[in-house]
Amino acid sequence: MVHPERMTARMDGEFAVFLIGMRVNRLWAVHQWLPVAAAMPRMLRELYARPELGLLSHEMWFSRTAVLVQYWRSLDALLAYATARDSAHLPAWQAFNRAVGVDGRVGIWHETYLARPGSYENVYVNMPAFGLGKAGTLVPARAGWQSARGRLHGGEG
């Protein structure tokens, strides 16, 4: 559903934003980058099947460099998933290191951010729930929530 007004997303407390992706450096090395690309959908299925693990939502884009933005309930939940022996992540990471390592054919990257109240803001206009708006609660951006400064200061900017 497209929301035809200015909306903003609110989150309760701290949360983590995790950006992860891969870059195909040698297109003909399909045998190396295809398993890397196939690993993420398996992990996402696992995470959505088990909401107690802490993933709230994600967005994904594909090109030569694939980008996945994930919103997590907490940094602790993200780190616990990354290191859990019974998760899909650890075997995928180990397989990447065995098959690709640092040979340059396919690159992987990630960035992690801890967001606290007052350290982020967002606005969506003529958009369906997207990004943080899917992970949190969408509300109209009215009164003190209309400006970036106001959203950063909890509606008091």
User: What sections of 60-131 are H helices per DSSP?
Assistant: 75-83, 89-99
Give the tokens for residue 79.
Answer: 């780190």
* pLDDT surpassing 80 at residue 135: yes
Assigned token pair, 125: 């206009």
As a whole number of angstroms, the distance between CA 40 and CA 97 comes to 15
- Give the mean pLDDT of 12-37: 89
DSSP letters, 29-77, are -HHHHHHHHHHHHHHHHHHHH-GGG-EEEEEEE-SSEEEEEEEES-HHH
Percent of the chain with pLDDT over 70: 99
More confident residue, 112 or 93: 112
The yes-or-no verdict on residue 154 having pLDDT over 90 is no
Q: What is the pLDDT of residue 157?
A: 59
How large is the average pLDDT for residues 92-113? Answer: 85
Q: What percent of the chain has pLDDT over 90?
A: 69
φ/ψ of residue 74, rounded to 5: -160, 160
Q: Decide if 40 contacts 96 (C-beta within 8 A).
A: no
pLDDT at 79: 97
Average pLDDT over residues 98-123: 90
* pLDDT(156) > 80: no
Burial class (CB in 10 A: 0-12, 13-18, 19+), 132: buried
Give pLDDT tens digits for 51-84.
999 999 999 999 889 999 999 999 999 999 999 9
* pLDDT, mean of residues 31-55: 91
Rounded CA gap, 29 and 104, in Å?
10
100 has a pLDDT exceeding 80: no
Token pair, residue 38, equals: 């196939």
Residue carrying the six token digits 């196939």: 38
The domains located in the chain, with CATH, are 15-115 (3.30.70.100)
Distance, CA of 27 to CA of 106 (rounded, Å)? 9
